[in-house]
A and B are shown apart, each in its own frame.
Chain A
Amino acid sequence: MTSNERKGLTRRALLARSVAAGTLTVIGAGFIAAPNAAWALEVSVISEHEMATLLQMARDIYPHDRIADRFYAVAVKGYDAEDKKAMVAEGVAALDAAAKAAGHADYVSVGWEEDRVKLLQGMEDSAFFQTVRGGLVTGLYNQKEVWPLFGYEGESFSKGGYINRGFDDINWL
């Protein structure tokens, strides 16, 4: 039984809201996935809702529209762990409470990024927010697979450096 069910939230309601938010889908016990099924993430310790919230939060903290959800999923999957469970539960509950106070069902169902960002700004100094944000700095940007999306070429020694590969090829000055 997930913590959401314990709180009286049904998986059906969760599913409906996630779909309504247009980003993530709870596809079964312990899974959430992209609507286009490009990736799926299994959770075993925290709830699907909590993981869906972390994913949305990650996108809102470091939004890159050309970077797919699956990279953010990699960055936050480590929170599905016993030693993170309490922090996540408390943090997501606080975020959802703030969303409710602003007239929304919960954080992930807030439609506009700028409205979600306002909720995050309200908890910017919390340990939960700072832990998630700090973890993303390496969790997201140190994935070699995202580097090409920024144009960054990474390791170059094995290719002989750039001495014959454009270290001075700028042509618009």
Chain B
Amino acid sequence: MGAGHGGPLGAAYVAGTSAVHRLEPHTKLVAVLAFALVVVATPVHAPWAPAAYAGYAVLVLAAAAVARVPAGRLARGLLVEVPFVVFALLLPLVARGPRVEVLGLSLSESGLTAAGGLLAKATLSVLAATVLAATTEPRELVRGLQRLRLPAVLVQILAFMVRYADVVTGELRRMRVARESRGFRGRGPGALRVVATSAGALFVRSYERGERVHLAMLSRGSTGRLVTGPAAAVPLQAWLTALALPLGAGAVLAAGMLLG
């Protein structure tokens, strides 16, 4: 309480009115998924692969520029990659095949290519997904998934999770503040029990809140279905704008396959 709106889920969103922000959420989801598919489909061992990755990078950075996503936001988005960067860096050391000497280390050639490909593909997809998250509010994303025919119950669970994630994490934060203001330092034996008791209490509170929400819904005449207005048809123009990113990437891939 007393914190700004948004919380951990809303933190990904960068408010704005750019062309990318205004696109319907489900078109953006399709576009990012299609872009990731094109990136994944690029053969790693082709000699033109690095050029293709560069092409994709230009496209996704252009999309980020149109959406006015700050560079710092993109960089923070890339942090989730770190564990897999470590995995990729280990690949050249353990992979089989002919080896090359780099700085005194014997590295596998195929491992090097594979690691480069992995890093490039993961980075490009993460950038695209970061642009999506930065230009679309969480509840809009849920609406987009709903229009993409995700099962209705799953959409409802998602909607409840998105709606209450901030409440639940806020509760967790207040518990931490309360613990620490009583002198808890989180070290030494017994600390696990203290933190786990908070987590257990959080589960009980979340579950009971779920029951109260359900009763409140029933008392307001809920039938268990989400009421949504009619979905507006998306004109071809908007689809083309949204799909410019994957179509451009597809063109790069096709050019590589034909010319390379």
Question: Do A and B truly interact?
Answer: no
